[in-house]
Every structure is written in structure tokens, then in C-alpha cells.
Chain A
Amino acid sequence: MYAFTYHRPDTARKAVNTATKAEDVKFLAGGMTLLPTMKQRLAAPAGLIDLSRCDDMRGIELKGRNVVIGAMTRHFDVANSELVREKIPALAELAGMIGDPAVRHRGTIGGSVANNDPAADYPSAVLALGATIITNKRKIAADDYFKGLFETALEEGELITKISFPIPAKAAYEKFRNPASRYAIVGVFVAKKGRDVRVAVTGAGSNGVFRAAKFEAALTANFRPKGLDGLTFSADGLNTDMHADAEYRAHLITVMTRRAVQKAISR
């Protein structure tokens, strides 16, 4: 790891101020991705702004028909939150499937969503639930937020402070994971709210998380695994790597979507 200057503000506002003043800095949330990336010298920021003392960025609350989660809330806390387990159990289950217990004690929702790893779990929940990303300067709809591999709508120095999740009628997440890294080879988050059905796929797309429009249309007509009978997913634009080729991932998308729908309707 290359040397960097270290900043430890205690509020989100101070963190943003520091970012505005300093050159080439990165926000450090849980560090579960950023620190390994820096160790491999794939990232070498001149400065790190450690958000671990920004208590105003932590916590989970019910606001109207939304569950609002502070960006520095850890996977462990989301997985074990009574509120999340009651209102959006699929989101709590997803958080409990990230990495391993030690990683969940440190990794955060804001860090994951800001990083937008193409195989991360949270982006699928954000997209399928139609969440809103709240930053220090604006609100960004999930559909406008994810821009490709590790790319988001966030501007330089812009900080996610909270993420607001509308409570769905039914939702579930199913993931086929890499047994070593725990990352999704294919993860599918299915959510139904009123007539609206959204299906978001992570781990599979060569351009990051995406919505499966064809499946959404079929499930809007019939929200049961049967509703997907006869449908297949095209391998175009899917990843091929040492873990799985594009055809295999395409098949997994149909399987994971069916499983997720089954899980969602049997709650």
C-alpha cells in the first residue's frame, strides 16, 4: 500500500468539507474493498477520509413507508435489525449473505453501493426495490444511479449519507455464490409493490447490475414461478470468466429468479 494522509472527521458535513479542500482523496467506509484494492496497489489515493466516527451516518429508521438506512450502517446491523427483518426481510437476508461474519462486522451498505462492484449484493436490492440514494447534495433514483462497472452517478467528493428503501409487498433475494469469495456469480432480487414487479440481477452482467425487463413483464402478469415458464435469458452481454461462462450465467438467472419468486410468495 502506498502512503496516504489520514483524516478522521466526526460528521458527514466535515467529511465532505475535507474532501472539498484536499486533492485526490477517497472516503473510507468499512474498507472491505478499498483497503484490499490499495494493498494490491490498484488504488493509490493521496488521502483517506475515514468515516468510521461519523455517527450521523449510522442507523436504521422507519420513515413513512420507507426503511431509511444510514450509509455507515454495517451489514451485520442490517441483517439483525428487527425493523428490516419485519418490513423488508429480503434485505436483511441479503445483508446476512455478504462475505462472512467478520466482514459483516465491518463492511457498510454505503461503501458497497458507492463502490458498485458488479458482483456485490446490495446493488440488486437497491435497484429492485427502487431505492433512493441520498447524498450530501441530492437524491438519486436507483434507476439513474448505477452506470456500469464500479461506475455510479456520484460526482467527485459527493458522499452517500443514507439510502431509502420503499417497503415492498413481497420480495426475495437468491444468490448462487462463489464458494471462496462469497461474491455473487448470479444474484437475483425480486420485488413486488402494487402491480409493479422489478427483477434486478447482479454478478452476471458485463456492465454491472441490471433489470431483467422480460422477466418483469412476465411476472407482472403472473407473480409465480410458473409465470416464467418457457422464458429463457439471452447470454448476450453477460460475463464469461473462470467461474462461469455467459450461457451458464444466463441459465442461472432463470433458476435464481424462479427461486426468488417462490421464496417471495411463500412468506
Chain B
Amino acid sequence: MPKVSMTVNGQPVSANVDPRTLLVQFLRENLSLTGTHVGCDTSQCGCCVVHVNGEALKSCTALAISLEGAQVTTIEGLAQDGKLHPMQEAFRENHGLQCGFCTPGMIMTAVDMVRRSGGDLDEKTIRHELEGNICRCTGYHNIVKAIAAGAAAMAPAAE
């Protein structure tokens, strides 16, 4: 089996993988990083969103071996020194979840949204940008509130 090496949450990792191993399988099964979820497995629901080289990507629809040398950040990589990332904190504060299954993908998408569009996000932009993430519990209302708050909290730190 060919070898794949990448950096996940700042740590260099490598493994021999079957070429058909998806990035999400590699993260969950090889690295035991089970925060990244598989919802629909057809790149529609967004539960599996991670950042690859700084950009949001659906990890159920990428081959691990194709990402040789990539920098990957998962939901486990957001908190620093035991302190929640501002977007995670905003989801907690605004109760931006119910069952929580979609939450890792929502948060990774939200952080990517702020990276691309800045910290001053209106409701319309947030709702539009969430087009690739599906939540079946909340009706999105608190998710949108959480992202607006998280974006504002991230803003001072943004470049």
C-alpha cells in the first residue's frame, strides 16, 4: 500500500493506505480524530468539512493519498491551550446546536467564511454561505446567530 504523509492539526502524520481511503476515513480510522463526521457521504450535508491548506473541503469526497503534503485542520485543531476557539465559544454561548452531529462541519465552515469574508457578516451572507451545510434539528436560527457572534469575536484576531 502506498504511503501518505500530511500535517494534521500541526502534527506530522503518515500511514500506508489503500488508495481508495477517503480523507475522512483517514482522519477517523487511522488517526482516531472522530470529531469530523460522516453524514450524507455524498458531499451535500457538510458534516465532514475540514480545512485543507486553509480552505474548507468536504473530506468525504477527497482521497487521502491525493492530499500528500497537505496542511489539514480538523475541529480538534481549533481549540488552543484548552481554550475554545471564538467560533466554538459562540456556538456554545448561542446554543447553536441541538444533537450536535452537524456542529463540527458548521464550525469549520463558519471559520472558513470569516477567513474569506471578514468578521462583519450579515444574516443574509451567513445563510447563503451555509448552502453546503445541513442541520436537521435547529432550523438554523441559532447557528446563524452563533456565526455572527463568532465572526465578530474573531475579527480582532483576523488579518
The one of B18, B55, B61 that contacts A31, using a Cβ cutoff of 8 Å: B61
Quick check: B132 and A101 within 8 Å, CB to CB? yes
Quick check: A99 and B132 within 8 Å, CB to CB? yes
Quick check: B132 and A4 within 8 Å, CB to CB? no
CA distance A102 to B132 in the complex (A): 7
A52 to chain B, nearest CB (A): 6
Choose the segment among A32-40, A188-196, A206-214, A257-265 that binds chain B (4+ C-beta atoms closer than 8 Å): A32-40
A97 to chain B, nearest CB (A): 10
Which of chain A's residues 31-84 have a Cβ closer than 8 Å to chain B?
Answer: 31-32, 35-36, 38-39, 48, 50, 52, 76
User: A36-B43, A50-B63 are known contacts. Are A102 and B19 too (CB-CB below 8 A)?
Assistant: no
Closest to A80 in B: B116
Quick check: A101 and B44 within 8 Å, CB to CB? no
Q: How many residues of A contact B (CB 8 A)?
A: 28
Quick check: A103 and B58 within 8 Å, CB to CB? yes
B131 part of interface (Cβ distance < 8 Å): yes
Quick check: A100 and B46 within 8 Å, CB to CB? yes
A1 part of interface (Cβ distance < 8 Å): yes
A266 part of interface (Cβ distance < 8 Å): no
Closest to B2 in A: A6
Chain A residue numbers with a CB within 8 Å of B55 are 76, 105
* Cβ contacts A75-109/B at 8 Å (1 or 0 each): 01000000000000000000000011111011000
Which of chain B's residues 61-107 have a Cβ closer than 8 Å to chain A?
Answer: 61-63, 65-66, 68
* Cβ contacts B14-26/A at 8 Å (1 or 0 each): 0000111010000
- Which of B41, B58, B116 neighbours the largest number of chain A CB atoms within 10 Å of its CB? B58
Quick check: A100 and B132 within 8 Å, CB to CB? yes
Quick check: A102 and B57 within 8 Å, CB to CB? yes
Closest to A7 in B: B19
CA distance A103 to B62 in the complex (A): 11
Closest to A51 in B: B66
CA distance A71 to B142 in the complex (A): 40
Quick check: A28 and B109 within 8 Å, CB to CB? no
B50 to chain A, nearest CB (A): 9
A35 to chain B, nearest CB (A): 5
Quick check: A31 and B132 within 8 Å, CB to CB? no
Quick check: A102 and B56 within 8 Å, CB to CB? yes
Q: 20 interchain pairs (CB within 8 A)?
A: A2-B20, A3-B20, A6-B19, A8-B65, A8-B66, A8-B68, A28-B63, A31-B63, A32-B43, A36-B43, A50-B63, A50-B65, A101-B56, A101-B116, A102-B58, A102-B109, A102-B132, A103-B58, A105-B56, A106-B58
Residues of B within 8 A of A (CB): 2, 18-20, 22, 41-44, 46, 49, 52, 55-58, 61-63, 65-66, 68, 109, 112-113, 116, 129, 131-133
